[in-house]
Structure 1
């Protein structure tokens, strides 16, 4: 079965270079940050890469999924994923997404956090970052505006929807299937039969790789997928059914258990 992590065929991926020059920094000298604007009519894919500067990936419209440190993070409008310099990450965007990548000069970074983390990107910050990307202005004025953007960013304590990816080859088919179709209803026993392994083998693999049960992991996958549907404007009932919940109440209960709030509260916060 094709892996969800292998969305781009090998034959159309750019060839790996044996040696490459040191990448040029995106932020111009003496400035604090710069933002790139991306509009995608079709699904987008950016292969594993790292940068010389800190990076914040944040959607203005649609959903962006980022694979970093063996975890899939779904980033919704109103939030972003902070990725420290040198950290390898892989990015996917849904069709119709509009997302931004803001790079920050490491030497000028003043907030306390430096690890990969979800960040709140409120409307004022989003508008100012886009304005800076599109508008010329005197150097001192630009520097003041850039510092304001940095000062207004804050870690997002809740709504951190990430999914660790088990690496045990014995359950690779199961993992790929659930990621591609979160609504699938196969039980642990059914998967054991299809994979020709024992239920204990599957349980141990999940425990060793991601420190959770198969049921807990599948619930996390479903809620992550549901967040993407909600961000696209689907109703709570529709999103719940599409990821495998037969009733809205069951979906809301599972959502609250994973995210810490209801779907309505999450959307209100972004």
Structure 2
């Protein structure tokens, strides 16, 4: 599939945001292509990527994050990352100076966006480039930063191991997520004892093999559902015998079935064709 770069309508995102004389730079980025990608890069300022439409997939050395609609990814300043999107994307981007980001998380994370935070970000992207820091616009930016600091963290992170044997396991399952090999079979494949593999997974990732694989399936399924694939298709592609088994896994991992989870994070999502397909396969 041909990949397309995200269209940045404001040149600040391309080169000037890090040195622009405002603590927070807010811009809108959109793409009408199916898929876009940005190579690995870093900013002096921290970056918040808030998804309105589409799904963002961001790779950082410590793991993989996804950002479904109505969630935001926080990337602290100086963190190298690569990003790509699935589906027609509309994203609000905030670049935040480290001097005003001290109350934000020190590590990458996915944040839930409340109705108030949505309105604050939406207003901020409409400000002129040189907004009045001492006036009403500056006060709104300060309120936005306070709301960001209080935003709950979503469990949409797939940690990646550093040990080369475990990384081979992770890369294999990313390439073939339907592989149903057992823990013992994987241990043989990567040249470890089952006990050592279990211990090292917990040390490096804080997760058992089963929980890590379940988190992988959640992340991959959200990417595919955002592209309009049906629950049934996604379930079979991930190695489940039927949609019911996949829905049970998804509900156990995130607390909601896939249709409701996505609908709650996209105001008009229920009117889209993929939502109708999801609802037919997932009546809860």
Q: Does 1:75 align with 2:67?
A: yes
Q: Which residue in 1 is equivalent to 2:108?
A: 116
TM-score in terms of structure 2 length:
0.70
TM-score for both structures, normalised by structure 1: 0.74
Which residues of 2 match residues 198-213 of structure 1 at below 5 A?
198-213=193-208
Task: Provide the C-alpha distance between the structure 2 equivalents of 1:265 and 1:128, rounded to a whole number of angstroms.
Answer: 25
The answer for the alignment partner of 2:46 in structure 1 is 54
SS in structure 2 of the partner of residue 261 of structure 1: coil
Q: Which residue of 2 aligns with 1:4?
A: none
- Cα shift at 1:74: 1.0
Q: What is aligned with 1:65?
A: 57
CA distance in 1, matches of 2:87, 2:227: 11
The higher-RCO structure (CA 8 Å, 6+ apart) is 1
Moved more, 71-80 or 107-116: 107-116
Where 2:59 maps in the other structure, the secondary structure is strand
Q: What's the CA shift for 1:106?
A: 3.4
TM-superposed CA distance for 1:256, in Å, is: 2.6
Change (3 A) 1:116 1:207: closer
Q: Distance in 1 between matches of 2:165 and 2:191?
A: 9
Q: Which residue of 2 aligns with 1:173?
A: 168
Contact in 1 for aligned 2:165/2:191 (Cα 8 Å) = no
What CA deviation, in whole Å up to 9, does each residue of 1:80-127 have, x standing for no partner?
Answer: 111222233332323543333211233345856454332233567557
Aligned to 2:220: 225
Distance 1:29 1:75, change over 3 A: same
The unaligned stretches of length 5 or more in structure 1 are 1-7, 9-22
- Tell me the equivalent position of 1:34: 26
Q: Is the CA contact 2:72–2:112 (under 8 Å) kept in the aligned structure 1?
A: yes
Deviates more, 1:248-257 or 1:229-238: 229-238
Partner of 2:209: 214
Shift in Å, 1:219: 1.3
Matches of 2:186 and 2:153, distance apart in 1 = 33
- Check conservation: 2:55, 2:66, Cα contact below 8 A: yes
Offset of residue 64 of structure 1: 1.1
Structure 2: state its 5+ residue gaps. Answer: 4-14, 266-284
1:191-210, Cα deviation, whole Å (9 max, x unpaired): 34444554344334423322
Cα RMSD, aligned residues only:
3.4
**Residue 76 of structure 2 aligns with which residue?**
84
The number of residues matched between the two structures is: 249
Q: 1:248 to 1:95 in 2, by over 3 A?
A: closer
Which segments of structure 1 move beyond 6 Å, counting only runs of 4 or more? none
